[in-house]
């Protein structure tokens, strides 16, 4: 197991390095510069700015500077927000995105599984149709539409929740709902279909024949196995939601880190592009790694050390 984890960890580092290198050269291949402005900008002023951020150095030197910044985990100041470092931006934005993300995932997973299980148990019944209607709606309504609708109804018209910004738990309700609906729907559908499959398995029949209590059969025998596909998508879902979402954070004016992914590219804010990419890719591979570990725990047929031993 330890050997497996070390090996996986090294692969993770390698993956992140490759992603980082690709991003670096792709980013410099896009035309434009962080100092391109519509307004008049004097050439001397431009040159001073470029020198200030080492952008006048050859690309290879910039690459080395950048590798050093990854190694020391210090990405330097943002070009567009010069009084803040990339670490400041991420350090401030990530906890907020993470907080919103965790609540969202919890809501999505719990309600998704409940919906899915109910639908599977009442297969082709009213509850099934109802649950799947909710799920289809959840998948097909884009979250920004839902977000605007929620603000208009629940904040402006009925004045139950605040419209936007981020200052109290109450402010979390609308963005959580808007964000959680999509993943909830996906999880509900996945749970339902794999539950249906598992429920026809022989061991479930055996369990029933033994006279076990139905809820025990469902939770302990059926659900545990039905959750495998859910766990699979959870890795990507976690990485995506926990690092913030551009649209929802923009609509609700949430000071998370989602915006930096998009804005930094539009503004050619090189240090922020690199910082967000490295951070996100590391986070993603780490989540996938956790998912692999979770497989082993959920399904005894997958044994890490056995794979190693062969």
Site residues (CB under 8 A) for another protein?
30-33, 35-49, 51-52, 80-84, 88, 92-93, 107, 110-111, 114, 117-118, 121, 148, 151-152, 155-156, 159, 161-170, 172-173, 213-215, 218, 250-253, 255, 259, 266-268
- Residue with Cβ nearer another protein (31 or 58): 31
- Residue with Cβ nearer another protein (12 or 173): 173
Instruction: Please calculate the CA angle 246-183-289 and round it to the nearest 5 degrees.
Output: 85
Q: Which residues pair with 85 in a beta bridge?
A: 77
- Residue with Cβ nearer another protein (172 or 274): 172
- Residue with Cβ nearer another protein (9 or 25): 25
- Residue with Cβ nearer another protein (6 or 30): 30
Q: How would you classify residue 211: left for phi > 0, otherwise alpha for psi between -120 and 50, otherwise beta?
A: left
| Least distance from another protein to the Cβ atom of residue 103, Å | 9
| Least distance from another protein to the Cβ atom of residue 264, Å | 12
| Least distance from another protein to the Cβ atom of residue 276, Å | 14
Q: Tell the burial category of 24 from Cβ atoms under 10 Å away from its Cβ (0-12, 13-18, 19+).
A: buried
Q: Report d(CA 161, CA 155) in Å as an integer.
A: 5
Structure tokens at 243: 């690092």
Q: Report d(CA 172, CA 249) in Å as an integer.
A: 11
Structure tokens at 13: 């580092």
| Least distance from another protein to the Cβ atom of residue 298, Å | 21
8 Å CB contact between 110 and 191:
no
b or e along 266-303 (b: 16 or more beta carbons within 10 Å of the residue's beta carbon)? ebbbbbbbbbbbbbbbbbbbbbbbebbebebeeeeeee
- Residue with Cβ nearer another protein (109 or 304): 109
| Least distance from another protein to the Cβ atom of residue 229, Å | 21
| Least distance from another protein to the Cβ atom of residue 91, Å | 10
């Amino acid at each position: 197991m330890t050997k497996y984890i070390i090996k996986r960890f090294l692969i993770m580092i390698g993956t992140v390095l490759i992603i980082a290198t690709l991003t670096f050269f792709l980013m410099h291949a896009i035309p434009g510069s962080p100092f391109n402005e519509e307004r008049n900008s004097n050439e001397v002023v431009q040159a001073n700015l470029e020198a200030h951020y080492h952008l006048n150095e050859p690309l290879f030197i910039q690459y080395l500077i950048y590798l050093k910044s990854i190694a020391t985990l210090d990405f330097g100041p943002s070009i567009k927000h010069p009084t803040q470092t990339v670490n400041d931006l991420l350090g401030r934005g990530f906890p907020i995105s993470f907080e919103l993300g965790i609540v969202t995932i919890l809501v999505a997973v719990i309600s998704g599984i409940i919906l899915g299980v109910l639908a599977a148990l009442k297969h082709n019944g009213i509850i099934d149709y109802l649950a799947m209607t909710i799920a289809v709606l959840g998948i097909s309504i884009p979250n920004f539409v839902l977000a605007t609708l929620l603000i208009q109804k629940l904040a402006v018209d009925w004045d139950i929740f605040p419209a936007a910004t981020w200052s109290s738990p109450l402010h979390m309700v609308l963005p959580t709902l808007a964000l959680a609906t999509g993943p909830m729907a996906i999880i509900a559908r996945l749970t339902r279909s794999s539950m249906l499959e598992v429920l026809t398995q022989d061991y479930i029949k055996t369990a029933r024949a033994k006279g076990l209590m139905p809820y025990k059969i469902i939770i302990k025998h059926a659900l545990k196995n039905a959750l495998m596909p859910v766990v699979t998508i959870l890795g990507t879902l976690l990485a995506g939601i926990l690092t913030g979402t551009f649209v929802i954070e923009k609509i609700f004016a949430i000071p998370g880190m989602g915006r930096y992914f998009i804005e930094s590219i539009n503004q050619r804010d090189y240090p922020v592009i690199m910082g967000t990419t490295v951070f996100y890719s590391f986070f993603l591979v780490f989540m996938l790694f956790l998912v692999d570990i979770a497989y082993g725990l959920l399904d005894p047929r997958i044994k890490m050390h056995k794979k190693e031993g062969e």
